Amino acid sequence: MILIRNICLYGALGLSLFASTAFAKAKGDKTLRRPVEWHVSVSGDDNASGTSAAPLRHIQTAAEKARPGDVITVHAGTYRERVAPPRGGDSKERPIVFQAAKGEKVEIKGSEVIKNWKRLDEKTWVAVIPNRLFEDFNPYQDTIHGDWLERGQWCHTGEVYLNDVALNETDALENVLMNGGETPLWFCKVDKENTWIWANFFQANPNEELAEINVRQTVFYPRKPFVNYITVRGFHLSHAATPWAPPTAEQIGLIGTHWSKGWVIEENDVRHSKCVGITLGKYGDEWDNKAESVEGYIKTTQRALDNHWNRDSVGSHLVRGNRVSWCGQAGIAGSLGAIFSTVEENVVHDISRQKLFWGYELAGIKLHGAVDAVIRHNHIYRTEGGIWLDWMTQGTRITRNLLHDNEVQDFSLEVNHGPILVDNNLFLSTELAQVKLSQGVAFVHNTIAWKIWPTGKVDERATPYLLPHDTRIAGYHDCPCGNVSYFNNLFIGGEDLSAYKDCSLPVQLKGNAFDAQAQYKVVQDADGWYLEIAPSRESAHRQTVAPVRLKQLPDAVIPNQPFDMKGVEPVFDKDYVGKIRNKRNGVVAGALVTAGNGQVRVKVYDN
């Protein structure tokens, strides 16, 4: 068995690597302790009792004290610390809850304020920072590196912010000193005693305004796996020096679950992670960033099975109602650890905007091995990659998502064998979609502006398929074109589905409508986002189509599995906004019933 980093083995004491004896005893103990609410305040004292009248000072102090069923309520203020819960709850009903006090703004930051800047000229300042500030981790010595990172290995995980806006790092000091443009730059150098940072603040005085730098690698992340049943709610989480997070390495996010089970991450504002905002990802081992190949990831998956990659130990997370922005690699990512999870109602935007580094892991949502997952009603825009589901996506539903203004690709299904259900989404980016060489896929009632990424007829990578609703590997297969169905979709970007001619596996195309001349745009008003769409004259009155039933969807042929996903109704009779498709409203192609007759304006997402 491959041993997981940072976990000590106590074999002589008979303790298990993956289970807590204390939790097991607690489940069978009829005299469980009464849950406690711990209070934390910036005016508190870590030697206090932790009551509302005598709060603690640090969230981590409360985390050390909390036991299953306890609640940690954090009051208004800015907390500059890393929260690493040493334990979690013992069940879904008895989590440890970390929450911002109702109606109070609570910020947890991985940065520190720097006030010793010295002016060099009208644009440029320099700060000399003693290395003791960074303790055992200096982000200005730590460069971005890892599997499938193709460009930008010179970049550091550190960052410089002025009033919560990140400056751009440069690889040469003269670029900062001679900057004649409008983009502020920074450069760093580290010696034995100090870290030097040169930065352009232009007319701003960083000693009078809010100048911050990354100091901590992460903000909310356990130091070991299997810290289960944690709820994190209502915080503003920012400024983490996170590493590149490929699927073959430990995936450390600004907030992350670290190979655990049953987390609820909801209603948080997550921003300014150097790489990933929220991770539902893999543990670390000696193979981290040493497995950049098909064979390497297959072995990663096999080792994960030895390290309890199963429903009982990992996944079943809920990521709901968060806003994730200004991350360099991905908004939400996870390799293998997102199994049986739901990702819903999140707003993910402005991902990979600096473009200082690049690799094959950039997206708004990027998941590997998403087994029986649900990705529902998320709003994803100004990202590179939109939604990208890679390897072993099986039993997963992507429904009622709004995507627009994404670059490179809007939607990607890479080397999956299905079944995968994609229904009632608004895919409104004009970029391509990599969907041709995954099998067992059903597209039902989507409105689609993208075109299909041109590829060959087969991806020869032999990738795993799994037992139904399970993580155990049933076999391996390459990825031929076909075994896909498109039912009742509206294409408004010129796609004609000719990419599926001469596929080696069957393709079913029914009830689709094509209107390459349709005019549309997504606009933001005070109360939310609206889709304005005007069909071309030839398509102004789309023909009524037959309802689609779940039992019509062809089985995923390679794993030999039907579309038996939990929670899917027998008939696709509700559109993107929940309006009923029936004789009165009409059953027309696309995600919106109301987009069938002339120009319309429909609210598609709240602010």
Alpha helical stretches, state H, 105-162: none
Q: How confident is the model at residue 595 (pLDDT cuts 50, 70, 90)?
A: low
Cα separation, 229 vs 279, in Å, equals 15
- The answer to whether 534 touches 518, Cβ cutoff 8 Å, is yes
pLDDT at position 536, please?
87
Classify burial at 240, counting beta carbons within 10 Å of its beta carbon; exposed 0-12, middle 13-18, buried 19 or more.
Answer: buried
Q: Chain centroid to CA 480: how far?
A: 28
Per-residue model confidence as pLDDT tens digits over 234-277: 999 999 999 999 999 999 999 999 999 999 999 999 999 999 99
Mean pLDDT, to the nearest integer, of 84-91?
98
Q: Half-sphere exposure of 154 toward its Cβ, with a 13 Å CA cutoff?
A: 10
Per-residue model confidence as pLDDT tens digits over 174-197: 999 999 999 999 999 999 999 999
Classify burial at 296, counting beta carbons within 10 Å of its beta carbon; exposed 0-12, middle 13-18, buried 19 or more.
Answer: middle
pLDDT at position 539, please?
65
Q: How confident is the model at residue 223 (pLDDT cuts 50, 70, 90)?
A: very high
pLDDT at position 32, please?
78
Overall residue count recorded for the chain in this entry: 607
Asked if the model's pLDDT at residue 29 lies above 80, the reply is no
- CA torsion 88-21-248-157 (nearest 10°) is 40
Q: Considering the domain 112-214 in this protein, what is its CATH number?
A: 2.60.40.1180
DSSP assignments along 5-63, one per residue: TT----GGGT--SS--HHHHHHHH-TTPPPP-EEEE-TT--TTS--SSSS-BS-HHHHH
pLDDT at position 255, please?
99
Give the DSSP letter of residue 402: E
Cα separation, 166 vs 353, in Å, equals 11
Asked if the model's pLDDT at residue 1 lies above 80, the reply is no
Tokens of residue 107, six digits: 């910020």
What CATH superfamily classification does 88-108+216-514 receive?
A: Single-stranded right-handed beta-helix, Pectin lyase-like (2.160.20.10)
pLDDT at position 24, please?
41
Domain segments of the chain as ranges: 88-108+216-514, 112-214
Cα separation, 71 vs 66, in Å, equals 8
pLDDT at position 578, please?
96
Q: How confident is the model at residue 543 (pLDDT cuts 50, 70, 90)?
A: confident
At residue 549, what is the residue type?
A: R
Do domains 88-108+216-514 and 112-214 share one topology? The answer is no
Q: Could you give the percent of the chain with pLDDT greater than 70? A: 93
Per-residue model confidence as pLDDT tens digits over 354-376: 999 999 999 999 999 999 999 99
Least confident of 164-173, 448-457, 534-543, 556-565: 534-543
Per-residue model confidence as pLDDT tens digits over 471-503: 999 999 999 999 999 999 999 999 999 999 999
Q: How confident is the model at residue 538 (pLDDT cuts 50, 70, 90)?
A: low
Q: Could you give the percent of the chain with pLDDT greater than 90? A: 89
pLDDT at position 540, please?
53
Asked if the model's pLDDT at residue 300 lies above 60, the reply is yes
Q: Taking the model in full, what pTM does it have?
A: 0.94
Classify burial at 297, counting beta carbons within 10 Å of its beta carbon; exposed 0-12, middle 13-18, buried 19 or more.
Answer: buried
Mean pLDDT, to the nearest integer, of 27-34?
64
Per-residue model confidence as pLDDT tens digits over 163-177: 999 999 999 999 999
Mean pLDDT, to the nearest integer, of 340-359?
97
Asked if the model's pLDDT at residue 141 lies above 50, the reply is yes
pLDDT at position 467, please?
97
Return mean pLDDT, the chain: 93
Mean pLDDT, to the nearest integer, of 35-55?
98
- The answer to whether 440 touches 558, Cβ cutoff 8 Å, is yes
